[in-house]
Amino acid sequence: MPTTAADPANSAADPANGATGTNGANRTNPANGANAPIDVPRGLAGVVVTETALGDVRGREGFYHYRQYSAIELAENRGFEDVWHLMCHGSLPDAEQRAAFAAETAALRHLPADVRDALPAIARSCALTGPLAGLRTALSLLGAASGGRPLYDIDADRRRADALAACAAVPTLLTALHRLGQGLAPVEPRDDLSYAANYLYMMTGTEPEPERVRAIEQYLVSTVDHGFNASTFTARVIASTGADLAACLVGAVGALSGPLHGGAPSRALDTLDAIGTPDRVDPWIRERVLAGERIMGFGHPVYRTEDPRSRMLRGVAERFGGPLVEFAVHVERRVLEILAELKPGRELHTNVEFYAGVVMELCGVPRSMFTPTFAAARVVGWSANILEQAEDSKIIRPAARYAGPPPPQPVPAVR
Ligand SMILES: CC(C)(COP(=O)(O)OP(=O)(O)OC[C@H]1O[C@@H](n2cnc3c(N)ncnc32)[C@H](O)[C@@H]1OP(=O)(O)O)[C@@H](O)C(=O)NCCC(=O)NCCS
């Protein structure tokens, strides 16, 4: 695991990632803490901590990729199962491999009885916190009920089998938790439907229209992976200890649930609702920007140009057309103009959340399922990262600079 200085030419070191400067804590040498400390930026921004063959994000170019392929090109031309195969097995499938992979993963959608029986209680406990919090508990149970063993103790084939089983079960868990939370019975998965079609089917109980399936599939493909974000890093830290796959995924879901990471695509849609009509766009946006508030769905910590996912999802939304899409396009244009005027030089562009919310709304996904749907796609990226990390025997164990009262001080006598 190399700890190289960030390369200014690639994304990890892109100042767009906040990698410039060394304003962070001193890091001591892991061997004994006595050697020269290493300065790293706060939040490890831009620090290269490993090598990966899975993908990368180039913030300045507005480009990201899965293995050697543009993620957007994959979303435009390939189905979810193909991209899952690419991340898990390293290559896009041919026709025969596609059929075999689809059959293999469809069979894994069904939950073990112990897990299925526990879901009503989990859904009740998560009535206020929602399906993503429920997923954390359900994934943990699934790992234990399936006899998942530490990554350290099993070979690569067994690890891959565990990863496929977990990824295939996540949509079943999420949609069951969602429906139970609404007082509805879970819908059993159908093996004859694609991943995306089955996801919408299990959520709504009716077979979805092909346009909706394709739209949600494009969203899911575009969300599978996105560089070394906090949840991916979390999954890899846990994998580096040799823990079981479910432990890694539960940690990743926990990281994703934080508002600074998983965000809330529903908030961008809430903004459209709050604005209401085209004549209210300018005063609404100006008032908030001048008050120092952020407009949801704009700005990004990495991209300093248009987020490629936003561009792709705008196209998906425009295929549907209708008043919501027209309104969103109008709001986007005005927000960009107003931000350019009031925040000159900040390079603020539309991010993935703005049109993700619109597309999910058009596909009939309820707002409480927006972030869980993100998780359903990202679990494939986390799993690929876990499998890659498991090949590296080095535990991830950085250091912290002690900043408390100077030790050693006498331990006070017990009174
Ligand atoms: C995503 C986000 C956290 C990135 O933050 P960042 O790169 O650290 O941006 P910065 O904090 O450096 O902001 C730079 C400037 O642009 C402003 N800005 C950033 N995003 C803004 C937004 N959405 N609306 C209005 N102003 C914004 C900041 O207030 C800051 O202004 P200042 O220089 O006058 O203080 C931020 O853009 C944001 O909060 N966006 C809204 C939430 C959102 O859509 N999240 C989903 C992300 S995928």
CATH number at residue 190: 1.10.580.10
Half-sphere exposure of 59 (CA within 13 A, CB side): 24
Ligand 1 centroid to 342 CA: how many Å? 13
Other beta carbons less than 10 A from residue 210's beta carbon: 9
Q: Which residues does the chain have with pLDDT short of 70?
A: 1-36, 263-265
Ligand 1 centroid to 349 CA: how many Å? 10
**Has 353 been annotated as catalytic?**
yes
Both 235 and 97 in one domain: the answer is yes
Cβ-contact 387, 163 below 8 angstroms: yes
346 lines ligand 1 (CB under 6 A): yes
Ligand 1 centroid to 62 CA: how many Å? 17
14 lines ligand 1 (CB under 6 A): no
Ligand 1 centroid to 347 CA: how many Å? 10
Both 357 and 380 in one domain: the answer is no
Q: Dihedral, CA atoms, 317, 268, 200, 235, nearest 10 degrees? A: 120
**Has 65 been annotated as catalytic?**
no
Both 372 and 356 in one domain: the answer is no
Both 176 and 137 in one domain: the answer is yes
- Residue 31 has a pLDDT of 53
Number of independent structural domains in the chain: 2
Both 226 and 113 in one domain: the answer is yes
Range of 182's domain?
73-258+368-390
Other beta carbons less than 10 A from residue 331's beta carbon: 23
Please name the residues in contact with 322: beta carbons below 8 A apart, sequence gap of 6 or more.
Answer: 362
Separation between Cα atoms, residue 248 and residue 42, nearest integer Å: 24
Which ligand 1 atom is nearest residue 299's CA?
A: 37
- Residue 264 has a pLDDT of 64
Q: Dump pLDDT digits (tens) for 247-302.
A: 999 999 999 998 778 766 688 899 999 999 999 999 999 999 999 999 999 998 88
- Does 64 map to a domain? no
Both 340 and 236 in one domain: the answer is no
Q: What is the DSSP letter of 350?
A: B
Which ligand 1 atom is nearest residue 298's CA?
A: 23
Best substitution site from 60, 64, 300, 313 to test ligand 1's pocket, by max atoms within 8 Å of Cβ? 300
Both 329 and 195 in one domain: the answer is no
Cβ-contact 53, 67 below 8 angstroms: yes
Separation between Cα atoms, residue 324 and residue 277, nearest integer Å: 11
Both 204 and 115 in one domain: the answer is yes
Both 206 and 342 in one domain: the answer is no
- Does 340 map to a domain? yes
Helix then strand then coil, % of the chain, to nearest 5: 55, 5, 40
364 three-class SS: coil
286 three-class SS: helix
Which ligand 1 atom is nearest residue 268's CA?
A: 44
- Does 17 map to a domain? no
300 lines ligand 1 (CB under 6 A): yes
Continuous segment of H or E residues that includes residue 134: helix 131-145
- Does 395 map to a domain? no
- Does 25 map to a domain? no
Half-sphere exposure of 342 (CA within 13 A, CB side): 19
Both 154 and 231 in one domain: the answer is yes
353 lines ligand 1 (CB under 6 A): yes
- Does 294 map to a domain? yes
State residue 192 phi and psi, 5-degree precision: -85, -5
Both 179 and 224 in one domain: the answer is yes
Q: Could you tell me which residues are beta bridge partners of residue 339?
A: none
Separation between Cα atoms, residue 29 and residue 38, nearest integer Å: 7
Four-residue CA torsion sign, 406, 409, 414, 415 = negative
Both 82 and 231 in one domain: the answer is yes
State residue 5 phi and psi, 5-degree precision: -70, 145
Q: DSSP letter string over 196-253?
A: HHHHHHHHHSSPPPHHHHHHHHHHHHHTS--SS-HHHHHHHHHHHTT--HHHHHHHHH
Best substitution site from 271, 285, 298 to test ligand 1's pocket, by max atoms within 8 Å of Cβ? 298
Residue in the structure block whose two tokens are 């974000």: 229
Residue of 6, 4, 24 lying closest to 15 (CA atoms): 6
Ligand 1 centroid to 300 CA: how many Å? 7
58 lines ligand 1 (CB under 6 A): no
Other beta carbons less than 10 A from residue 375's beta carbon: 26
Ligand 1 centroid to 392 CA: how many Å? 36
- Does 31 map to a domain? no
Q: pTM of the prediction?
A: 0.91
- Does 26 map to a domain? no
Separation between Cα atoms, residue 282 and residue 180, nearest integer Å: 41
